Amino acid sequence: MGFPNLWKMLTRSNQTTEILPSDIVVFIVGPTGSGKSWLLQQLVKKENIKFSKQSLNPSTKEVNAVRCHFSGGSDIRDDIVIVDTPSFYTYLPPDGELTLKQWINERCKKSCKKAGILYLHNIAGNPQDANLSLSKHLKAFNNAYTGCGVVSSTVVVPTLDNGVVYPPDKIQGLILRLESEAEKVKAATWKLFDGKPETAWEMVQELLRQMGCA
């Protein structure tokens, strides 16, 4: 199955309440403030998706799943579902791990075709905060992920708060630190997300490539 340029071929998207056996599911995972809903907004061309990239409070308190539709050839099917997951370790209700687990139990009656993770991490966050740890959040995701198919690949995406300006050498140092964390969990690392829809879809295509889909 090939995806020549998903960004150019995306025609529409709609919220979905069901994961099908033919679906390729991309889970967006990450701590509060990492930009999960911001990324989803760019992927699906919808301005009405609420996000608060700089807030200390989680803006994603429930699971949002969007099915993407594409134009093109017969090899482009409506089988890519983007899932924005709630943040873990926020100290505020609801419990993100429990919310995701309930959603998967209700929506994934059978295993999907393939599943992967886009993991977002705000490099401006406190590196000493254990609750921002990549491995800790992936462990929480795995605890909540009771089914829906094997997660075969993870791509880690660095993000940066709006309004935060770092010199290039500091950004590079923070990304290298994140790459080191990613290597420990056998995940690939993407470049700093620039907030553009076409870049967002490049990330998805890289994840699909690693999953053997593109």
Domain count, the chain: 1
What's residue 49's pLDDT?
A: 42
Which tokens in the block code for residue 13? 């998207």
What's residue 147's pLDDT?
A: 75
pLDDT tens for residues 77-106? 668 899 999 888 877 767 888 999 999 988
Range of the domain at 121: 6-211
Beta strand segments in the chain, E: 10-15, 24-29, 64-70, 80-84, 114-122, 151-159, 188-189
Q: What is the CATH number of the domain that holds 23?
A: 3.40.50.300
Burial of 210 (0-12, 13-18, 19+ CB in 10 A): middle
Phi then psi for residue 30, to 5 deg, are: 160, 165
158, pLDDT greater than 80: yes
60, pLDDT greater than 60: no
What's residue 75's pLDDT?
A: 56
Calculated CA dihedral for residues 55, 28, 43, 129, nearest 10 degrees: 30
1 part of a folded domain: no
149 part of a folded domain: yes
H-type helices in 27-130, by residue range?
Answer: 36-44, 96-107
55 part of a folded domain: yes
Chain centroid, CA 89 distance in Å: 17
